[in-house]
């Protein structure tokens, strides 16, 4: 036992100099595992792969000083000192920009010094970026043009899913705006229209914007434009993103629809990349499929978000449906419009009953409805089928009210459904089988049990919670029933806002159901 116990005790750094070398080597390898596979040396202009980075550190004065200074420390202090020194040495800057012509690729710079290559527009940009990073005190720099082997499908796929973390771990992101020539022009840059630059704005902790001549956009005492209130206001105006998200963004699926809205006006050279560029923002890891259609890429991302988070807000969109699934849009632009949010004036208090017996029955009915909703489960997406908990309102009648001769493809319908006031809906296509009794359609309120936790008044009774929530107008989905007893969503060019009636008796009869949508 004594021998085994001694084996588990880490030798002190003072008595084992070789242990220091091993700790340093392990630390270097551990840090570089989270880094891009290649970095540019801003002093020499040489592109270094991981082995070259390790060799460079081993031969540096910083390494020699570290081996000496660490010997005087005990184990905990030694490990901390090693990690801080190695991390400081490998701090790197990243470039964010809009791709132009003649961008240097890996094969153009590998084994060469970028400062000695023949000048092109792209190479001038790369040289200026490295020089600027060097002036800021960074020995290492990374650019998406030449630091990724785009001829390797495997490496490119790994880079796409890792890029958010590479920008997050960078010490500084330098944003080059080739079309900005002076103060006040930030929001006019085409950089804000590109898909990949959204994560390049959100991921880094520190960002500096540079204009067309590589002069700083606005002087910033903190060396971080994210700490400049004037620049933050310009960024908010250009992106619609609140300053708190710009300065302290957490990747994940919270407020998923808002994140899609941020990206809805952006474009990528390869259409499917608009979905890939959001993987890091949502912190999802999905395979990159060469030749994949944009609809399929976006559909896989939406399905993953539904599966992991159950966020039903992403079902609220207007536009053309996807071939991937009827509940998903064909293009991310479908999220550009704001979702309908009911105003506080729609909340109405429950009037107390004058009969104690009816009060008891009413309380039991509300409790039953509450239990059904709280136990309804989470949305699930399996095998291209969405199992969606909802409150379902069967359509009882559909009347065609208008076909505009100037726009013969526009059909205006009046729809009657159980538990809802009649609503009008304009569609670009004709609804089938509307003369059936009842028509094979339903309006649904998508549901997730966590919605009960968002009640505006946590001290209210069960009945008050439900009434305040279910009384409000909501974004409805119009579903058509299939012969297989499944449903398909009917896409619309405007939000479908359904309004429950004003009486509690109707709301209390709400039907909770889980439907399967294809």
For the chain, how big is the Rg over CA atoms in Å? Answer: 29
Tens of pLDDT, residue by residue over 506-516, are 888 899 999 99
Integer angstrom CA distances of residue 262 from 199, 342, 489: 11, 22, 25
Q: How many CA atoms lie within 13 A of 300 on its CB side?
A: 18
Give yes or no: residues 378 and 231 share one domain: no
Tens of pLDDT, residue by residue over 472-487, are 999 999 999 999 999 9
Residue 424 lies in a domain: yes
Tens of pLDDT, residue by residue over 81-108, are 999 999 999 999 999 999 998 999 999 9
Q: Judge whether residue 114 has pLDDT over 50.
A: yes
Question: Which of these ranges, 12-26, 193-207, 464-478, has the smallest mean pLDDT?
Answer: 12-26
The residue among 508 and 109 whose pLDDT is bigger is 109
Q: Judge whether residue 354 has pLDDT over 60.
A: no
Give yes or no: residues 96 and 241 share one domain: yes
Give yes or no: residues 239 and 373 share one domain: no
Average pLDDT of the chain to the nearest whole number: 90
Residue 49 lies in a domain: no
Residue 207 lies in a domain: yes
Q: Judge whether residue 311 has pLDDT over 80.
A: yes
Domain end among 225, 249, 273: 249
Residue 99 lies in a domain: yes
The residue among 282 and 10 whose pLDDT is bigger is 282
Residue 382 lies in a domain: yes
- Go through 156-179 and write b for each residue having 16 or more CB atoms within 10 A of its CB, e for each that does not: eeebbbbbbbbbbbbbbbbbbbbe
Tens of pLDDT, residue by residue over 23-48, are 999 999 999 999 999 999 999 999 99
Give yes or no: residues 235 and 372 share one domain: no
Pull the structure tokens for residue 10.
């880490």
Question: Which of these ranges, 247-251, 277-281, 463-467, has the smallest mean pLDDT?
Answer: 463-467
Domain end among 232, 249, 266: 249
Angle between helix 75-89 and 61-70 (nearest 10): 170
SS3 labels along 121-154: HHHHHHHHHHHHHHHCCCCEEECCCCCCCCCCHH
Give yes or no: residues 240 and 369 share one domain: no
CA 189 – CA 261 distance, rounded (Å)? 19
CA 297 – CA 329 distance, rounded (Å)? 11
**Residue 172 neighbours by CB under 8 Å, 6+ apart:** 93, 94, 133, 136, 138, 204, 206, 207, 208, 223, 224
DSSP structure class, residue 405: T
Would you call 411 helix, strand, or coil by DSSP?
strand
Per-residue pLDDT band at 357 (split at 50, 70, 90):
very low
Q: What residue ranges in 84-233 does DSSP mark as E strands?
A: 92-97, 140-142, 172-176, 207-210
Residue 85 lies in a domain: no
Q: Judge whether residue 13 has pLDDT over 90.
A: no
Query: Does residue 438 have a cis bond before it (omega within 30 degrees)?
Result: yes
Whether 230 contacts 218, CB under 8 Å = yes
Per-residue confidence (pLDDT) for residue 216, from 0 to 100: 96
DSSP structure class, residue 183: T
Integer angstrom CA distances of residue 37 from 23, 96, 128, 158, 289: 22, 18, 22, 10, 22
Would you call 49 helix, strand, or coil by DSSP?
strand
Would you call 225 helix, strand, or coil by DSSP?
helix
Give yes or no: residues 98 and 235 share one domain: yes
Per-residue confidence (pLDDT) for residue 409, from 0 to 100: 74
Measured at the CA of 489, the angle between CA 487 and CA 494, to 5 degrees, comes to 155
Q: Judge whether residue 9 has pLDDT over 80.
A: no
Tell me what the mean pLDDT of segment 218-245 comes to. Answer: 93
DSSP structure class, residue 289: -
Environment class of residue 384 by beta-carbon count within 10 Å: exposed (0-12), middle (13-18) or buried (19+)? exposed
Tell me what the mean pLDDT of segment 298-308 comes to. Answer: 97
Tell me what the mean pLDDT of segment 324-344 comes to. Answer: 89
Residue 50 lies in a domain: no
Pull the structure tokens for residue 138.
């960074």
Give yes or no: residues 388 and 239 share one domain: no
Q: How many Cβ atoms from other residues are within 10 Å of residue 245's Cβ?
A: 16
**Number of compact structural domains in the chain:** 2
DSSP structure class, residue 267: B
**Residue 80 neighbours by CB under 8 Å, 6+ apart:** none
Residue 141 lies in a domain: yes
- Cα torsion 274, 277, 282, 286: sign: positive
Among the listed residues 52, 156, 160, 67, the one whose alpha carbon sits nearest the alpha carbon of residue 110: 52
Tens of pLDDT, residue by residue over 154-202, are 999 999 999 999 999 999 999 999 999 999 999 999 999 999 999 999 9
Give yes or no: residues 230 and 370 share one domain: no
Domain end among 198, 227, 249: 249
Please give the residue range of the domain that contains residue 500: 365-452+463-517
Question: Which of these ranges, 133-142, 206-215, 419-428, has the smallest mean pLDDT?
Answer: 419-428
Q: Where are the alpha helices (DSSP H) in 9-100?
A: 17-33, 50-58, 61-70, 75-89
Residue with tokens 């009037």: 351
Pull the structure tokens for residue 419.
């538990």
């Amino acid at each position: 036992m004594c021998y085994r116990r001694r084996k588990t005790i880490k030798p002190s750094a003072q008595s084992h100099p070789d242990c220091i070398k091993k700790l340093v080597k392990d630390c270097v390898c551990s840090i570089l595992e989270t880094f891009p596979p290649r970095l540019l040396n801003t002093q020499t202009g040489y592109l270094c792969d991981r082995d070259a980075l390790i060799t460079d550190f081993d031969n540096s004065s910083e390494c020699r000083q570290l081996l000496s200074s660490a010997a005087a420390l005990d184990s905990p202090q030694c490990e901390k000192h090693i990690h801080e020194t190695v991390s400081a040495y490998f701090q790197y800057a990243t470039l964010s920009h809009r791709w132009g012509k003649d961008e240097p690729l890996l094969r153009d710079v590998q084994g060469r010094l970028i400062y000695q290559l023949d000048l092109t527009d792209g190479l001038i940009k790369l040289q200026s970026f490295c020089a600027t990073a060097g002036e800021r005190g960074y020995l290492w720099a990374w650019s998406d043009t030449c630091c990724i082997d785009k001829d390797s499908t495997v490496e490119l796929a790994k880079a796409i899913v890792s890029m958010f973390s590479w920008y997050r771990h960078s010490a500084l992101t330098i944003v080059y705006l080739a079309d900005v020539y002076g103060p006040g022009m930030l929001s006019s840059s085409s950089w804000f229209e590109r898909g990949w630059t959204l994560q390049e704005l959100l991921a880094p902790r520190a960002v500096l914007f540079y204009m067309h001549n590589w002069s700083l956009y606005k002087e910033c005492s903190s060396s971080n434009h994210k700490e400049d209130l004037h620049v933050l206001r310009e960024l908010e105006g250009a992106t619609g993103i609140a300053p708190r998200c710009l300065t302290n963004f957490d990747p994940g699926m919270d407020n998923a629809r808002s994140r899609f809205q941020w990206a809805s006006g952006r474009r990528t050279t390869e259409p499917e990349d608009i979905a890939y560029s959001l993987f890091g923002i949502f912190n999802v890891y999905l395979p990159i499929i060469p030749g994949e259609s944009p609809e399929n890429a976006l559909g896989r991302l939406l399905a993953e978000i539904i599966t992991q988070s159950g966020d039903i807000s992403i079902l609220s969109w207007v536009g053309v449906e996807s071939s991937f699934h009827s509940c998903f849009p064909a293009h991310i632009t479908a999220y550009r419009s704001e979702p309908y949010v009911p105003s506080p004036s729609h909340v109405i208090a429950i009037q107390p009953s004058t009969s104690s017996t009816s009060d008891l029955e009413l309380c039991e009915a509300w409790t039953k409805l509450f239990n059904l909703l709280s136990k309804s489960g989470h949305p699930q997406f399996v095998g291209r089928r969405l199992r969606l908990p909802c409150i379902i309102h069967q359509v009882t009648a559909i009347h065609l009210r208008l076909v505009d001769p100037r726009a013969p493809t526009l059909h205006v319908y009046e729809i009657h459904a159980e538990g809802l006031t009649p609503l009008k809906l304009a569609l670009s296509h004709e609804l089938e089988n509307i003369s059936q009794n009842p028509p094979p359609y339903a309006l649904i309120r998508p549901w997730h049990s966590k919605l009960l936790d968002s009640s505006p008044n946590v001290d209210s009774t069960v009945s008050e919670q439900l009434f305040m929530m279910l009384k409000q107008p909501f974004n409805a989905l119009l579903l058509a029933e299939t012969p297989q007893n499944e449903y398909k969503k009917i896409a619309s060019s405007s939000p479908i806002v359904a309004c429950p009636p004003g009486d509690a008796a109707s709301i209390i009869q709400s039907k909770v159901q889980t439907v399967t949508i294809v």
